[in-house]
Amino acid sequence: MVDEPKSEIDWRAVHTMQLGATGFIVFLMVVIWAATGLGEYFWPIWVWFGLSIPLAVQYAVKRALDGPRRWRALSVHAALSCVSGAILTFIWLLTGFGFWLFWPLFGMSAVLILHAFLTVWWRALHPKREKELTERVDVLTRTRRGALDAQAAELRRIERDLHDGAQARLVALSMQLGRAEDRLDDHPEAAELVRNARVEASNAIKELRDLARGIAPPVLADRGLPAAVEALGERSALPVKVDARLGRRLSPVVESAAYFVVAESLTNAAKYARGAAAKVSLFEESGRLVVEVDDNGPGGANPEGNGLSGLKSRVEALDGILVVVSNPGEGTTVHAELPCE
Amino acid sequence: MRVVIAEDQALLREGIVALLREKGFDVVAQAEDGPGLLRILSGHKPDLAIVDVRLPPTFTDEGIRAALEARAKYPGLGVLILSAYVEPVYTAELLDSGGEGGVGYLLKERVGDVKAFVAAVESVARGGTALDREVVSELVRRRDPDGTDGALGALTPREREVLGLMAEGRTNTAIARALVVTPGAVEKHISNIFSKLDLPASDEDHRRVLAVLAFLRQG
């Protein structure tokens, strides 16, 4: 729904004034009519009639404008037709059935029906707005996913390049320095310098390794989600049962998100549910990867906590959902679903 | 000692080969990928294979798979894995793979420290272990610091430290130096470790390996 500029006029006050004025005029008419001896003319009725027309039109049009934007022209038309029909009927009654009412009503209805038909037909031919919006949503969903996929793939490529390029050269450098150092036994000062250089090279390699590791743990990239989750379970301080039923590799971005959901949940469990046991389930169901981490600890985790809310935004960026149920005394369940077509 | 090497990065491979030859090892063959490693193993029957984890064609864990297969096929073969990163899963698989040969897992940059690298190569070729200190510290870090689990829970922090250094393949002298204690104190710690882990009295080297394995598997 598109917001429209709000009018500055207080319509409620305007209506009240209109009604007040109308009421006053009607009252005046009745008084005059009564004072002139209740003449056989029924003119006050015509005054009321004349006064009520603008009010009725105003009311009908205002109601008609409340509807959805795309049907607005048609509903204004219908409202005016109704008001006109009522006016005609009123005149017809008060003039003592002086004309055949059917034809004007028929004419108005015919025009209204034609308008409705044309509107529907036009919409069918040019279902612009809705279709545009639907398409836009589709495109955005696809491109967002594409961007995330591309980003994940790019990160893995960078990681591989680091490994094959800079890191390999630094290792070779470090080895040559090592060999040089080895031959400098007779020159301890020179050997010291070379050793320092080698240690620097080692530090650089370590920094590159830490960088690469933050992108994706090697076992996840190498062997996929079930193996990586098994590894997390084995390394956890809690006994962890892993039930991973996944027949295929998923896209890197989904794998990473699921991996970090499990990693973070198990870390939390180890921190807050000492002595408890945990269970991890992974399976695919109608195009969604379901990840669930359950522990029988004390519960009462705060779903808005730092780690969990970070996970939530990570999962939601993939159009997934993440739910944390952690009632005190009932353990904690972290349940995530990620689309994985 | 007869050594083969599987490493796809030529610069590193040739460097290691030159280094080992300088130090008197007999580098009998080189390979660039997993299948190549298995091929040269069957021909040369070496004491030790030095293997990079990431090898063609998949560039994932090709090297580990080839190493596991090699250990299954040639029980006495020592395997020293070189890797750009620490992955406890791979270490654990290697340690669990059976086979009587030695096992090593070192970060690649350790080849720069020539003396330590040569010591590790010799240790693994003789049937011992040589685990990178990063691997060991990763395992120690992940273990419950209260030490409530299993037989290892009975160890004192100092004994754990000694065990960690043993896992790196260090000798008693080297451990004594690292902890700034006398070699006698180290021997005492080690014999405490053996009795706490209930390791049968057999030759010292073998018990060391068993203790280290117990330590790592409980990770």
Query: Looking at residue B96, which CATH number applies to its domain?
Result: 3.40.50.2300
Q: Is residue B78 domain-resident?
A: yes
Q: What percent of chain B has pLDDT over 70?
A: 85
- Distance from C-alpha of B113 to C-alpha of B116, rounded to nearest angstrom: 6
Q: Which residues contact A82 (CB under 8 A, 6 or more apart)?
A: A60
Closest C-alpha to B55, from B47, B43, B66, B63: B63
Coarse DSSP helix, strand, coil percentages of chain B, rounded to the nearest 5 percent: 55, 15, 30
Residues B66 and B114 placed together within one structural domain of the fold: yes
By Cβ distance, the residue of A171, A227, A231 closest to B108 is A171
Residues B24 and B83 placed together within one structural domain of the fold: yes
Characterize B133-157 residue by residue with b for buried, 16 or more Cβ atoms within 10 angstroms of its Cβ, and e for exposed: bbbbebbbeebeeeeeeeebeebee
Asked whether residue B196 carries a pLDDT value surpassing 50, the answer given is yes
User: B38-85 pLDDT, tens per residue?
Assistant: 999 999 989 999 999 999 888 888 999 999 999 999 988 999 999 988
Determine contact: B96 vs chain A, CB below 8 A.
no
Asked whether residue A305 carries a pLDDT value surpassing 50, the answer given is yes
pLDDT at B148: 47
Residue B80, helix vs strand vs coil: strand
User: A23-50 pLDDT, tens per residue?
Assistant: 888 888 888 877 777 766 656 777 777 8
Residues of A with CB under 8 A from a CB of B: 160, 163-164, 167-172, 174-179, 181-182, 198, 201-202, 205-206, 209, 212-213, 217-219, 221-223, 227, 230-231, 234-237
Q: What is the DSSP string of A243-275?
A: EEE--S---HHHHHHHHHHHHHHHHHHHHHSTT
Residues B34 and B90 placed together within one structural domain of the fold: yes
Mean pLDDT of A251-272: 90
pLDDT at B53: 92
Closest C-alpha to A227, from A239, A244, A250: A244
User: B113-160 pLDDT, tens per residue?
Assistant: 998 999 999 989 988 888 888 877 766 655 544 444 556 677 888 888
Q: Is residue B104 domain-resident?
A: yes
User: Which range marks the domain in which residue B187 is found?
Assistant: 143-217
CB atoms within 10 A of CB B160: 17
More confident residue, A177 or A67: A177
Mean pLDDT of A221-234: 88
Residues facing A166 on adjacent strands: none
More confident residue, A295 or A310: A295
Rounded to the nearest 10°, the torsion over CA A171, A175, A177, A178 is 130
Chain B residues with CB under 8 Å of A223 CB are: 60-61
Angle between helical axes of B172-179 and B157-167 (0-180°, round to 10):
130
Helix (H) or strand (E) holding B105: strand B103-107
What Cα–Cα distance (Å) separates residue B16 from each residue in A32, A39, A103, B71, B109?
Answer: 120, 125, 105, 22, 11
pLDDT at A303: 76
Q: Encoding tokens for residue B103?
A: 């096992």
Asked whether residue B94 carries a pLDDT value surpassing 70, the answer given is yes
pLDDT at A3: 43
Mean pLDDT of A240-248: 92
Chain A residues with CB under 8 Å of B92 CB are: 234
- Distance from C-alpha of A316 to C-alpha of A307, rounded to nearest angstrom: 14
- Distance from C-alpha of A281 to C-alpha of A318, rounded to nearest angstrom: 20
Domain locations in chain A as residue ranges: 11-126, 141-215, 219-339
Determine contact: B109 vs chain A, CB below 8 A.
yes
Q: Is residue B69 domain-resident?
A: yes
pLDDT at B216: 67
- Distance from C-alpha of A322 to C-alpha of A334, rounded to nearest angstrom: 7
Residues B14 and B64 placed together within one structural domain of the fold: yes
Count: domains in chain B: 2
- Distance from C-alpha of B16 to C-alpha of A292, rounded to nearest angstrom: 46
Residues B124 and B148 placed together within one structural domain of the fold: no
Chain A residues with CB under 8 Å of B118 CB are: none
pLDDT at B140: 60
ipTM of the complex in this document: 0.78
A219-339 folds as Heat Shock Protein 90 (3.30.565)
Residues B114 and B201 placed together within one structural domain of the fold: no
More confident residue, A153 or B181: B181
Rounded to the nearest 10°, the torsion over CA B182, B183, B185, B187 is 180
More confident residue, B99 or B106: B106
Lowest mean pLDDT among A136-140, A293-297, B94-98: B94-98
Residues B92 and B169 placed together within one structural domain of the fold: no
pLDDT averaged over chain A? 85
Closest C-alpha to A94, from A51, A138, A46: A46
Asked whether residue B104 carries a pLDDT value surpassing 60, the answer given is yes
- Distance from C-alpha of B215 to C-alpha of B163, rounded to nearest angstrom: 7
Q: Is residue B137 domain-resident?
A: no
Would you place residue B219 in the very low, low, confident or very high pLDDT band (cuts 50, 70, 90)?
A: very low
- Choosing from B98, B132, B166, the residue where a domain stops is B132
Q: Is A44 left (phi over 0), alpha (psi -120 to 50) or beta?
A: alpha
Q: Is residue B138 domain-resident?
A: no
Q: Is residue B170 domain-resident?
A: yes
Q: Encoding tokens for residue A90?
A: 């009123």
Entry pTM:
0.66
- Distance from C-alpha of B190 to C-alpha of B63, rounded to nearest angstrom: 33
Would you place residue A192 in the very low, low, confident or very high pLDDT band (cuts 50, 70, 90)?
A: very high
Residues B60 and B122 placed together within one structural domain of the fold: yes
Mean pLDDT of B178-195: 88
Residue A183, helix vs strand vs coil: helix
Asked whether residue B100 carries a pLDDT value surpassing 70, the answer given is yes
Residues B117 and B187 placed together within one structural domain of the fold: no
Q: Do B112 and A206 touch (CB under 8 A)?
A: no
Closest C-alpha to B62, from A226, A248, A222, A221: A222
What Cα–Cα distance (Å) separates residue B211 from each residue in A87, A169, B73, B116, B163?
Answer: 103, 37, 25, 22, 8
Mean pLDDT of A67-93: 84
Query: What residue of B is the nearest CA neighbor of A209?
Result: B85
Residues B42 and B104 placed together within one structural domain of the fold: yes
By Cβ distance, the residue of A164, A202, A231 closest to B109 is A202
Kind of pairing, strands B2-6 and B129-131?
unpaired
- Choosing from B68, B103, B132, the residue where a domain stops is B132
pLDDT at A4: 44
What Cα–Cα distance (Å) separates residue A62 from each residue in A8, A55, B33?
Answer: 16, 11, 79
Residues B13 and B62 placed together within one structural domain of the fold: yes
Residues B56 and B98 placed together within one structural domain of the fold: yes
Chain B residues with CB under 8 Å of A230 CB are: 89
